Structure 1
Amino acid sequence: MRGPGRSNALGLPDKSSAAVSRVKVSADGHGVVSHAGVGMLRELADLSGLSAGVTAALADTYRGPWIYPPGAVFADLAAAVADGATCIDGVGQLCGDREHVFGPAASTTTMWRLVDERIDAAHLPAIRAARCDARAAAWAAGAAPAAGRWLHIDLDATITIDHSDNKENAAATWKKTYGHHPLLAFLDRPEVAGGEALAGLLRAGNAGSNTAADHITVLGWALESLPAAYRPDPHDPTAHKILVRSDSAGATHKFAAECRRQGVGFSFGFAVDARVRDAVDTLNLAEAWYPAIDSSGAIRDGAWVAEATGLVEMSSWPEGTRLILRRERPHPGAQLRFTDADGMRVTAFITDTPNGVVDGQLAGLELRHRQHARVEDRIREAKTTGLRNLPCHGFDANAAWLEIILTATDLVAWTKLIGFADQPDIAGCEIDTFRYRVLHVAARITRAARRTHLRIDATWRWAHAIATAWQRLRTAFG
């Protein structure tokens, strides 16, 4: 074997066997910290009043003075879940590793006790109220939606699989798996990835997909989680406009009536049954289809929309309910369904939005409903942020864990909306990328004049953006 510096058969330096320069590795570093960006989320929880609100909500669960305020423990849990922790033990390890920077943290046992004992069904409403107050503070600090625009609340359910087979209320699901079937509500914020998590209802695995009572409950919680100035008022025509979107699981008469009672509009997927297929045939004969549009307003090739309100009996739905159909060519390789007509895929939805409200008329209504699909991305990110695993045995404890997941989602969204509004590559990135770019950044710690200085790695591409965002958060709540 040729040694370093030897020549090959052609007499040229042998680069493949050149000595590799190695760095010395030792475990004696001081004054450094990884995952420093998590401190930004943790600080935001304090600045928005979330920590103080949760402390007030859980104060009566203590018999005496506490060592760690329950709101601080809750905030530590939410920040760690946003950073990727999937269980309470993992949260305790992450927080314990950061004590030299962000101060002492509660033990893992204390965290378990908060989730498993203190946040029970009786205290969850107060936790939701604390989250609502924090949202109001964050929106006042710069995270509010653009003025004059409708708010879109997306509802959808998902399956959380139980691999241990011993969690309370875990059951066989309609997808032939085993676990829980939570129903979630997200506020669509297209300017950032992830949206805001308004509410979530943990349900048994065998809960129905189109259970009207569950949809009504989650809608009520979602509206209560909005700041007071943004809530609907059916008796005030100047109140903020809100639209509730769901797939066909939400298309029940009771839920539609509840939306009308609450003063919010609706846009629900609708089953393509025999009546709808007959309407499609009539529309085809009349050539009554109009081109669909994409998000930029341009005509979408191979897709058309039409209204079938007068062709299908709709009297059982709230007054003004409209039935809109979409016809499109299936993408290459897609398998046709028996509801497809003439090789075209047909989908349907109902809405109570009248003409002239949405730009683009029918095509605009169809585009707005189609954007409900973004909720799938919200749920996928939530599963990457703790929802993939419910770590507790008790149902109430897992409901508390779900509330922590929703809080973590909000902290990330508010950080992006306030701190990174001018950084679309960060504001628009998904949670895994956000962790890599922001939360997992390394820093060096220095102390002078009784103050701790966190010096973010200057060679990191997003170092300046992170430092600027941190200062923006402090200024916004100052």
Structure 2
Amino acid sequence: MKTTAMVPRVKVSADGAGVVSHAGVGMLRELADLTGQVSAVLADTYKGPWLHDPGRMYADLAAAVADGADSVSGIGTLIDQQAQHGPVASVTTAWRLIDGRVDAAHLTGVKQARAVAREVAWAAGAAPPAGVELVMDVDATITIDHSDGKQNSASTWKKTYGFHPLLVFLDRPDIAGGEALAGLLRAGNAGSNTTADHIAVLTEALAALPEAYRPRPDDPAGADGPRLLIRSDSAGATHGFAAACRKAGVSFSFGFPVTAPVRDAVATLVEAESVAAERGWTVWYPAIERDGSVRDGARLAEATGLVDLSAWPPRTRLILRKERPHPGAQLTFADQDGHRVTAFITDTPIGAVPGQLAGLDLRHRRHARVEDRIRQAKATGLRNLPCFSFASNSAWLEIVLTATDLLAWCKLIAFIDEPDLACCEVATFRYRVLHVAARIGRAARKTHLRIDRTWRWATAIATGWHRIRAAFT
């Protein structure tokens, strides 16, 4: 048996000096100045002068969550690196901020402060390209309560126990992840298609956008102003939510349940297909992939005139899609002619989207990206709601949304030309950027952070850091 040489052992001691880990978190702390706005909102919760600025504490908690913390004690990663970050509030002080100061009465002000920070970040270079349609995705998720004792936790529709928050993300396809516009913490037994909750998060999402990017209610088609679209699965397909979108000047694209009238429309179109083929007409049109190529086995048809849509806003269209299910999938009674049938409704007029039905279908299918947004949000503090009271957990949810925004703005401003960093998911971004090691020292009355030069992304991190500083000065 041939033996292999062991890796030479290194000498280990605990006497290192001038070394910091997680050095890249400093980029997030410099991104947006939440301090002034949040401090002003929470000023009346103090009886006298404060030792630690509440806005600074809020920003530090958001940076710690972006770095991977899943509870308030995660701020300890910043406390341990005060040589780089300066004075940081203790875990106990941070707990008091979440568990007492950011209550329901002050949460609205904190959300407004986050909207101001977004406006500053977009002005610094994180704004979407001019003239493009802004797409918002709304979806709910389940956050499990393992303790079985938090306020308003309840049984969920998935037979678990916890909470059922409703979230809205702004789709940013140029990076891996979106911006978190709004979040509503709900009890675990909250309904999936509750109209009032959808309207509430839509209102918050629009308020979170800078003024210049908000829709004009008297111009729903967006001819003279910003164009906004909100996408949802069938849970958002309610008459009240569709009417609220129309009133707010936002177009919609909602999944639609395949009910008996829809099945009858599918059967009618399938029967008409053979007759139309004899006359050279087309009833079902091919679907396309994201690169513009034809999607094999998927066909589209418009059934607006075959189903009663009078209860929906005017100009609502119904689009049907039939596709061969993947191997092993079980067909249902709702499927026709060996194809899986789905549907969605939209108020986008004919010709507004390139590709006609195929373009509308591709745009609606991209709503599936919200699952990636939620998955990354759960990796950024949403998996665990650490507090007992419902108000404190609502404050924690707002910190999670802030952390999501900080990560998105960091990629958009610092690394938009670095696909390895801009398009990686949050766990990879932490490993490559936030958790980078560096040596810290002082010279000429200045603190100097020297990133490990052997790190593959060292130059990109240093360049991105300077971009952030240049953008906010």
Q: TM-score, normalised by structure 2?
A: 0.96
Name the CA distance, whole Å, in 1 between partners of 2:320 and 2:7.
65
Match of 1:277 in 2: 263
Corresponding residue for 2:66? 82
Moved runs in structure 1, 4+ residues, more than 3 A? none
Aligned pairs (5 A) from 1:190-229: 190-229=173-212
Q: 1:147 to 1:67 in 2, by over 3 A?
A: same
Instruction: Please give the per-residue CA displacement for 1:175-234, whole angstroms capped at 9, x wherever unaligned.
Output: 110000000000000111110000000000000000000000000000000000000112
The 3-state SS of whatever aligns with 1:122 is: helix
Q: Which runs of 5+ in 1 are unaligned?
A: 1-7, 9-13
Q: 1:62-211, aligned counterparts within 5 Å?
A: 62-91=46-75, 93-211=76-194
Mapped to 2, the partners of 1:129 and 1:337 lie a distance apart of 47
Partner in structure 1 of residue 253 of structure 2: 267
Residue from 377, 386, 395 that aligns with 1:400: 395
The answer as to 2:22 corresponding to 1:56 is no
Indicate which of 215, 228, 232 corresponds to 2:215.
232
Kindly provide the amino acid, as one letter, of the partner of residue 243 in structure 1. Answer: L
Deviation, structure 1 residue 167 = 0.3
Equivalent in the alignment of 2:440? 445
Supply the distance in 2 between the matched residues of 1:450 and 1:339 (Cα, whole angstroms): 73
2:23 to 36, 39, 44: 36
Residue 279 of structure 2 corresponds to none
Q: Secondary structure at the match of 1:309?
A: coil
DSSP 3-state at the match of 1:323: strand
* Aligned equivalent of 2:280: none
Q: Distance in 1 between matches of 2:328 and 2:464?
A: 45
Q: How far 1:15 sits from its partner (Å)?
A: 4.5
The corresponding residue for 1:305 is 300
Matched residue SS, 2:318: strand
Within 5 A, what are the aligned runs for 1:321-340? 321-340=316-335
Structure 1 residue 20, shift from structure 2 partner = 4.1
* Structure 1 residues 20 and 190, CA gap change in structure 2 (3 angstroms): closer
Q: Is the 8 A contact 1:42 1:75 kept in 2?
A: yes
What whole-Å deviation, never above 9, does each CA across 1:307-363 have from its counterpart, x for those lacking one? 000110101100000000111111222232332222211110000000111000011
Query: Partners of 1:283 and 1:440 in 2: how far apart?
Result: 56
The AA in structure 1 aligned to 2:149 is: N
Equivalents in 2 of 1:436, 1:183: separation in Å? Answer: 29
Distance in 2 separating the partners of 1:154 and 1:65: 42
Count residues with an aligned counterpart. 461
Q: Compute the RMSD of aligned alpha carbons.
A: 1.0
CA distance in 2, matches of 1:146, 1:339: 41
Deviation at 1:100, TM superposition (A): 1.4
**Identity value in percent:** 70
Instruction: Give unpaired runs (5+ residues) of structure 2.
Output: 274-282
Give the one of 433, 450, 457 matched to 1:455: 450
- DSSP-derived class of the 1:310 partner: coil
What does residue 3 of structure 1 align with?
Answer: none
| Contact 1:49/1:133, CA 8 A, preserved across alignment | no
Higher deviation after alignment, 93-102 or 431-440:
93-102
The SS at the match of 1:123 is helix
Q: Decide which of 335, 341, 349 is 2:344's aligned counterpart.
A: 349
